[in-house]
Structure formats: C-alpha cells, structure tokens
Structure 1
C-alpha cells in the first residue's frame, strides 16, 4: 500500500501574489493539480494534501477537479518546515502499514515513470527511506546529498547550512521521499529545529533511518521547483516542449512549434494541422482533419472532423464536422455550430445553436438564438436579445433567410422558409412561408437639397445682389 503526502501549505512570498503559490496556473492546471496528475497511474491508497496559507481557497480549488483517486486535507496552521508539515499526518495514518510518498506541491514536472521507479527501488531494496536526487549543473539553493558507492545516503545538508566544500557537491535533494511509514512515524517526533531557520527539516530523518538510498532522476528538469514568476515561466516552457513533442510524435503537424502553445489538458487526433500563433487551452478536443489557425485561440471547446479555424476565437463551444470558422469570428458562451456550416468575417455567436448547413457569412451577432438547418443569415444581422434587464431567445426555422442589416428583436419565433427583407426590424413572431418587410416605406422628394447656413431656399447667398 502507498499513501501520498503533498506539501502545499506555503504562501510563496516570492510570487508576489495574493494567490497561493500552488494555485498558480501551469499548462491548463494549477501547479498542485499537475502534482496530483503525476499520481494518476500510481493510484495511491491515501492522498493527504497538507494545506496552510489561504486554506479555504486551496480546498475550494481542488474540490472542483475530477480526480481518479480521493484526497484528504490536512491543515498545518503554522509553517515550521517540511518535517513539521509531515508531522501533521501522524493522526491520519495511525493504523497505516504501507509506504508514504512525500511530494512538494510546487514541483509539478515529475513524470509518473520517475515516481514508479522510486517506489520500485524502495520496495526491491526494502529501504527504510528512498529519496529522489539529481545531478544539477548549478545546484545553488538546493540541499546537497552525500552518498557512498552503493548510493546509500550518508548525510543531507541544506544549501544555507553547507560549507564551501560541501557546496561543490552537485547531487541535490529533489524533496521527494518514499518512507516505510512505521519507521518514519517513530522518527518524526524526534526532529529538532537546531538550524538557522529554526525549522524542522524532513531531511533530518535520514540521520535516524537505515538504510536510506538515493535514486538519481535521469532528467533533472523534472525536479525543478517553482518559487517565483521566472521559475513558473521556465516550468511552462519545459511542459510545452513535452506536450508539443508528444503530439507531433502522435501525428499532429505543428507548422511553427515555437509560436504555438497547447495546454496539457488538450486532446488532439492525428492529421490535425496547427498553424503559427495558435493557442489551445483547457478541456479542448480536436478531431482528425482539422486545420487550426494561424492566429487562433480555442479554449474548452470541441471541434469535430475537418473543421477549419482561421484568425478566430472559440471558447466553451462545439463545432461539428466540415465547418469553416473565420476569419475573425468569435464563438463563446456555449455556442454550438452544426455540420457543413460557414461562420465568416466578424461574426459573433453567443449561447446560440446553429443547425447543419447554416451560414452566417459576415458582420453579424447572434445571441441566445436557435437556428434550424440551411438558414442563411445576411450581412449585418443581429439578434437584439437584451432588454436592459434580462436576455431573450430568438428562434429561426429551417431554410429561412435574413436580409442584410436585419434586426431581430427578441423574444422572437420565426418559422420555416421565411424571407426577411433587407433593413427590416422584426418585432413579432412570423409563421412559415412568409416574406417579412419591417422597414419604413422609401420616400423621394425631387429637387430637394440641404440648405447651408447663410443661403435662402433657392440656394443663393443672402448678401448676393440680383
């Protein structure tokens, strides 16, 4: 059995933010959610998230995520070091007889395979503790790990407590530990705060446990922690390189990978082409044959086969197969577009549902509207859906057409096979098979011209002599 303790109680003062450090976004998830994601394949028996700063905010954020294993919150009211944090889980694991994996909530790049290797080594060697280490080219700021020839740990010294000679050692402590819980539970009450920071270090447990083994991670970037905005940006770059490499290996074409960003949460099928300056966010799913971009943003949306999106923004929406979006279209607020549609230049859809083979080609706004199949929306058509107090729906039946510059004043129900004349303001429901003309009759006044100031009715200057 494996239990996990995630240290997520710190404030993260160097982030210069009121948001707890572990909740800062990273590739479609918060930092601590990325840590939880690395545990999915391990499926721990217990998962304890140790919280402290802005405890209610952290709890509320994590309560919203869809996790395959349950986790519990453990409160650390005072932040007195990593050892003190793990001491808080003692009552929660009173009868636990397995191993405890300790992770940091601000180290989000660990691969599942690395954690599995750590657990396997721990069990095979029957270690009291096994710690993850790395050989860093620049180990400044990290605690140093000193081992014998068999990777048995002799000593761990925090960076701030290292002598000049000890700082020459490049093997660092990654802050990831696997313990035999029964041994650790005996040791935790014996920790002392005899150091410069007056904190209880979890690293001091190696002085009381035997054997303790180190496992070097192959890619040291996995253990990089996040303490400030620059390190957050570095972690994002590493995560992006991983994500884009994964999708290119899976048959996705990225025309200019350096200009493209893809969240870790996005799903893409083979034979998708992503053009430059395109950004895919959140719970987005893109099916085979789509061409996205250049210059597009797709967030929390679903695109079916062979959809093209050009210089457009799609958020919280669904687009069916063989539909063209853009250039310069905006779909938002749970818009749904049917198959074989065209949503063209400067068109905005908000909370609207369009049937198959419906076209909105230019300069239109459809809000809270439901359109049937084969509807053609003329340029400049808008649904006036807001009366200043609440929103109202518009419904347009199959095969109906709106002329240019039509205004449909909701609530409104327009039937099938209706034609609306250009420039009409439609305020009443319309039955099937109708021509609707909702505009003032044209009036022509021959010989009329605009009188300028200082002229009489015949257009002569008032001071002019006859």
Structure 2
C-alpha cells in the first residue's frame, strides 16, 4: 500500500558527544537513518522525506552516494533550519513540499530496529479505520519516561499523557506507551498541523499534540500495538548504539545460520544487512563482511578477515585477510594476511599468499603470488608464478603505469618489474633482477651486477673489531 514516509533526522544528538550528526553514526556499516528509510522502502513507501538539520550535508551526501549505486526510492530532503520540535519539523515539510495526501507515516531517524512489517500493519490499520491518526504503541519493561496512551471504550485514543503529568494512579494503571511513530491521514494532517502551539516550557511544537487536536475535533484516533517494544527504541548515546548493534548482529547471524552458514562463534562475526553468504560456508571469529559483499558456498572466511564490497565465489579460503572493492572467483586461496584492493580480480584457482598486496590487478587462472610481494596495476595471464619479495614498481611519483605478464611466466624471487613493462608468454625472469625493458615470449631475462669476492676480507674485519673492543 503506497504511503509517504517522513523520517525525523534533524536533531542535535548531543549525548553522542560527536562532531557528526547522531543519525550518521553506524550500525553494522550503515548509518542509523538508513535503517528506518530502508524499512519504509521495503514496506512500500512511494515517497520518502528526510527532515535534516544538524549535519545536513553529511546526511545528503550519504544518500546521494547510495542512490547512484542502487535502484531505490529516492530520498527527498527538507531542512529544518530552526529545530523547534517534531511538530515544527512536519509543518516545515508541509510548507516546503505542499499538502500531503494519502497515508503519512512519521518515523524517527534513530530507530534502526523498526521492521517493514510493522510499518505495513500501521498503514493498513489506519486505512481500514479511516483514522485521522493511528498511533504505534508499545509496552516496555520500564514505562518511566514514556507518554501513556489513554483509550476509550470504543478503542479510540483519547489522550497521550506525558510521564511527568501522570497521576500516581495513572502511573500504576497505564502501561501502553507512545512509540512516537504515527500514521496520519495526509489531508487532515496538512489542514490541521498549524493548530499545534508552543505553549510549553521548551517553547517547541510537539507532534503528539496533534492527538489532542484531532480528539477535540471529533476525528477518530486509532492505535496498534507493537509486540516487541525493542523495535521502536531510539538511540541517544553510544551505549545504546552498541546495544542495538548487538540486536541486529544477532538477527542477521541467526538468519544466515538457519540458511546453512556455519559460525564458530556468532558473537564474533559482524555482517552488514546487504551481504549474502552461500550454504556450507564457515565464518570464523573476528570476521567482518560489510557493504554489498557476497561470499559463495563451501568457503572458509577468517579468522581476522574483513571484506567490504567484495565478491567471493565458491570454494574459496580467506585467511586473516582484507578484501576491498575486489572480485574473487572460484577455488581461490587468499592469505594469511593478504590485502586485495582497488578492483583487483582473481580468477579461478589463483592464489594470493602470506603478506601479499594486490591493487587494481588481474591474477589469471591458476596463477600464484605466494608471499611477500606487491603487485599493482598489473594484468597477469594464467599459470604465472611470482617469486617471493617481487614488486611491480608502478608509480614514478606522478603517474601510475601498467605491467603485463603473459601465460606461464615465472618470476624469480626478489624481482623488480619497473612499469610500464611487458613480459611475454613462457618467459623466465632470474631472481634478484630489475626488469626495465620488455621481455619477449620464451626468453630468459637477467639483470645483475658482477659478484665481487675478496678472499679473507671478512676474517680481517672481525679481528679488527675485536682489537678495538
């Protein structure tokens, strides 16, 4: 059912003790505000409006980058330059965008646990009952601090009484609380939002006052209970940020394990919401999979591995390694302690071993970079072997140059390949060479100075040092 979602994300968030806006602090690699926006998208929102204020440009930049890489409902922004309360935020949106029509769901930008199904239920209840407003309610373990929802014998909301205004009897009997998430009739909201006043100690315009206004007009106000109150809990400090991160981590990991993924210790595996993992893959402790990473089936990832926007095929091993913005095909072995970045592409059956860094390079089928090497801006054919300690010297201080290695090339240990350079098929490079010129196919290339030997020099040197002591 299409609806408009308004996400309130303009607050200062002073309790985060940060230079960044509260809603940009991350839960599993995604900002707080991304979660309710994504929930609204999945629930069927046809229009998403984010109210921004503190750190407005940072929020805009994030969604601008996200929307260039995904096919999603775009986000519209309304800047609340004066932060005068939640009612004022919605009024500013109405003034800038024009009158609303259809259902309007108001969400908080700091509630990452809200589910699409909960939003859908809220909208469906509002439409079915033709309510001016439908309040999402909850029953937390500790109701202190929450506004209490008063319902009449016709199951309509009559009032929301703030905690500080409750009598002792109301404190004892009223347990249904306001979650601060609502679904309004867009027309009635637009026509009446100006009736909210700032006649309070803070001098702000509060959206819950719309309930009192609608009740006074004789307009129906409904409610729907959220079974799990954790869904609607907001994040106000870094302790709460860690708490909701733990909840989402548990939910994601549980779903993956139920789908056929093994985890030695789920508490030590962190997986982002857009990551996919295939069956019979094992994720070892201290593994992080973020961004749009995907891992195929029958893989082992970890321990101590981090993948960000990495695509890993089937049957791979990633041991104590980092892969960023790179593609790994099938049956590839990586690590321990390898680093792949800058759109590296490893083809089937290849290997990047211990302390190997690959940047913007293609490693051909069956090719190996076993250990202690840097390969950058290189295209490598199939069945190439790179000896330990070898480097492609691809940067002259100003320009990046490319290296090309043909099929079945053997590079001896401690070889420098000074780009731009091409080494043909079946060529062999002797150890400790510095290759500055192209090498033809099938050739042997050596670059060494003559070895000088001075008989007895070392013995005399050590004896001289002994006398000096």
Same fold at TM > 0.5: yes
CA contact (8 A) 2:99 2:186 kept: no
Structure 1 residue 449, shift from structure 2 partner: 2.7
> Displacement of 1:138 after TM fit?
1.3
Deviation (angstroms), 1:246? 1.3
Residue 105 of structure 1, aligned match among 109, 115, 121 = 109
SS of the residue 1:64 aligns to: helix
Q: Secondary structure at the match of 2:190?
A: helix
SS of structure 2 residue aligned to 1:65: helix
Match of residue 182 from structure 1: 187
CA distance in structure 2 between the partners assigned to 1:422 and 1:344 by the alignment: 19
What secondary structure sits across from 2:48 in the alignment? strand
Q: 1:283 to 1:354 in 2, by over 3 A?
A: same
Per-residue deviation at 1:345? 1.2
Compared CA separation, residues 231 and 460, structure 1 to 2 (3 A): closer
Structure 2 CA distance, aligned partners of 1:32 and 1:325? 35
- Aligned residues, how many? 459
Paired position in structure 1 for 2:360? 351
> Which residue number corresponds to residue 244 of structure 1?
253
Q: State the match for 2:377 in structure 1.
A: 368
Aligned CA distance change for structure 1 residues 160 and 393 (closer, same or farther; 3 Å): farther
Considering only aligned residues, what root-mean-square deviation do their CA atoms show, in Å? 2.0
Q: Distance in 2 between matches of 1:453 and 1:49?
A: 76
Q: What is aligned with 2:92?
A: 88
Query: Of residues 219, 222, 233 in structure 1, which corresponds to 2:228?
Result: 219
Where structure 2 has 5 or more consecutive residues not aligned to the other structure, the ranges are: none
Quote the residue 2:324 is aligned against. Answer: 315
Compare 142-151 and 309-318 and name the one that shifted more: 142-151
CA contact (8 A) 2:412 2:430 kept: yes
TM-score by length of 1: 0.93
Q: Does 2:342 align with 1:333?
A: yes
User: Aligned partners of 2:33, 2:223: CA distance in 1, in Å?
Assistant: 24
Q: Is 1:404 aligned with 2:413?
A: yes
What are structure 1's unaligned runs of at least 5 residues? none
Give the equivalent residue in structure 2 for 1:173: 178
Q: Is the counterpart of residue 259 in structure 1 residue 264 in structure 2?
A: no
**Superposition deviation, residue 74 in structure 1:** 1.4
Q: Which residue of 1 aligns with 2:291?
A: 282
After superposition, the Cα gap between the structure-2 partners of 1:147 and 1:425, relative to the gap in structure 1 and judged at 3 Å, is: same
Alpha-carbon distance between aligned partners in 1 of 2:317 and 2:155, rounded to the nearest angstrom: 55
Please give the per-residue CA displacement for 1:60-115, whole angstroms capped at 9, x wherever unaligned.
22222235213321121111111111111223564543121111111121100111
Report the Cα offset of residue 190 of structure 1.
Answer: 1.0
Q: How far does residue 336 in structure 1 lie from its aligned partner after superposition? A: 1.0
Q: How does 1:2-41 map to 2 (within 5 A)?
A: 2-41=3-42
* 2:104 aligned with 1:116: no
Give the match for residue 193 of structure 1: 198
CA distance in 2, matches of 1:312, 1:416: 30
Kindly indicate whether the alpha-carbon contact (under 8 Å) linking 2:100 and 2:190 is maintained by their aligned counterparts in 1.
no
Q: 1:146 to 1:443 in 2, by over 3 A?
A: same
* Structure 1 or 2: more helix by fraction: 2
Q: Write the distance in 1 (CA, Å) between the matches of 2:417 and 2:47.
A: 57
Mapped to 2, the partners of 1:294 and 1:460 lie a distance apart of 49
3-state SS in 2 of match to 1:446 = coil
Separation in structure 1 between the aligned mates of residue 112 and residue 231 of structure 2, nearest angstrom? 8
Q: Is the 1:28–1:265 contact (alpha carbons within 8 Å) kept by the matching residues of 2?
A: no
Structure 2 SS opposite 1:265: coil
C-alpha distance in 2 between matches for 1:366 and 1:81: 55
2:163 equivalent in structure 1:
159
1:433 and 2:442 aligned: yes
Is the CA contact 2:94–2:100 (under 8 Å) kept in the aligned structure 1?
no
1:77 is matched with: 81
**Is residue 2:146 matched to residue 1:145?**
no
- The CA distance in 2 between the partners of 1:259 and 1:373, in whole Å, is 37
In the alignment, the residues of structure 2 paired with residue 454 and residue 92 of structure 1 have an alpha-carbon distance, to the nearest angstrom, of 89
**TM-aligned CA deviation for residue 163 of structure 1:** 4.6
Q: How far apart, CA to CA, are the structure 1 residues paired with 2:96 and 2:304?
A: 51
Instruction: Give CA deviations for 1:20-50 in whole Å, capped at 9, x if unaligned.
Output: 1111111232111111110223332322211
C-alpha distance in 2, partners of 1:5/1:183? 16
Deviates more, 1:45-54 or 1:333-342: 45-54
Q: Alpha carbons of 1:460 and 1:282: their partners in 2 closer, same or farther (altered >3 Å)?
A: closer
Match of 1:60 in 2: 61
Shift of 1:361: 0.9
After superposition, residues 126-137 of structure 1 pair within 5 angstroms as 126-137=130-141
